[in-house]
Amino acid sequence: MRKLSIIGMPMDLGQMRRGVDMGPSAIRYAGVNERLQTLFDEVKDLGDIAIGRPEVRVDKESNLRNLDLIAEKTAKLAEKVDEVIQSGSFPLVLGGDHSIAIGTLAGVSRHYQNLGVIWYDAHGDLNTAETSPSGNIHGMPLAVSIGLGHPLLTNIGGFQPKVKPENIVLIGARSLDEGERALIKEKGIRVYTMHEIDRLGMTKVMEETIQYLKERTDGVHLSLDLDGLDPTDAPGVGTPVNGGISYRESHLAMEMLAESDIVTSAEFVEVNPILDEKNKTASVAVALMGSLFGEKLL
């Protein structure tokens, strides 16, 4: 029996632009439940993790914005994701800014010896307090997940790292900070920038990604930031970067992942309806979920 559980994570504490906390609502409004019900035997919407309306706080020591709150809320998400997997259901998390991945990965990685991660994003999200230009934690979740960063974040779930650097594939990168570039080289993280996508084509990129992860992992988490797509296709994101992956290339990537059957958990993040055009970005997210979970035209 194929089961899916949807968890909303309406958190905007990892960055400065308000509105991304409405992402889960926008995705639901775009018909995610109805779309996925045809692809699973059971779809349960577990509602949202309670975030409240906390005030912005900057940690004096580390200069990180909302550190305590993000640690607290992502720990709750980790518990919920853990419960979903234990119940034999596929966890699908709706964001929220990308700092939520700290919680998702903490919950998922308890269940795998060698978790793989596909990070579909314009950014590397590999900053630490030392390298971050902004102090925004949504630029740090991948670094946190490999065990680099503030202990309040890296130790969520009581263990670290959540994922090994060699089990990560970044797809769509086109905006990397200096510290992130150095870390990618130092840790040997596999990256397909827009240059590789243009040069090789999405088919080749996905074939290589799937083969690479199949050989070394026992489960794969997809973390898809809508800003991985070009802003013409997904305008409702907080940090758009021109020259991104097209709508059609993204569908192809999801369709190939569906065929490979390697993805064991997923999250779709950074949908900001305040910055969107008629809920276009949330609708794109839902359409891509359809492809990821095996929707076919014929």
- Asked if residues 114 and 217 have their Cβ atoms less than 8 Å apart, the reply is yes
Q: Pick the catalytic residue: 21, 125, 267, 295? A: 125
- Asked if residues 151 and 168 have their Cβ atoms less than 8 Å apart, the reply is no
Q: Would residue 150 show up in a list of annotated catalytic residues for this protein?
A: no
Q: Would residue 208 show up in a list of annotated catalytic residues for this protein?
A: no
Q: Would residue 121 show up in a list of annotated catalytic residues for this protein?
A: yes
How far apart CA 74 and CA 279 sit, in angstroms, is 26
Q: Pick the catalytic residue: 180, 225, 255, 276? A: 225
Q: Pick the catalytic residue: 98, 150, 221, 251? A: 98
43, 31, 59, 55: which is closest to 7 by C-alpha? 43
DSSP string, 139-204: G-HHHHHTT-S-HHHHTGGG-S-SS-GGGEEEEEE-B--HHHHHHHHHHT-EEEEHHHHHHH-HHH
- What is Dmax (Cα atoms) for the chain? 57
Q: Would residue 138 show up in a list of annotated catalytic residues for this protein?
A: yes
Q: Would residue 195 show up in a list of annotated catalytic residues for this protein?
A: no
Q: Would residue 125 show up in a list of annotated catalytic residues for this protein?
A: yes
Q: Pick the catalytic residue: 48, 97, 180, 227? A: 227
Q: Pick the catalytic residue: 48, 138, 255, 267? A: 138
- Asked if residues 96 and 148 have their Cβ atoms less than 8 Å apart, the reply is no
Q: Would residue 230 show up in a list of annotated catalytic residues for this protein?
A: no
How far apart CA 35 and CA 38 sit, in angstroms, is 6
Rg (CA), the chain: 17
Helix (H) or strand (E) holding 91: strand 90-95
Q: Pick the catalytic residue: 48, 97, 267, 270? A: 270
- Asked if residues 169 and 207 have their Cβ atoms less than 8 Å apart, the reply is no
Q: Pick the catalytic residue: 21, 121, 230, 295? A: 121
Q: Pick the catalytic residue: 48, 123, 267, 295? A: 123
Catalytic residue IDs: 98, 121, 123, 125, 138, 225, 227, 270
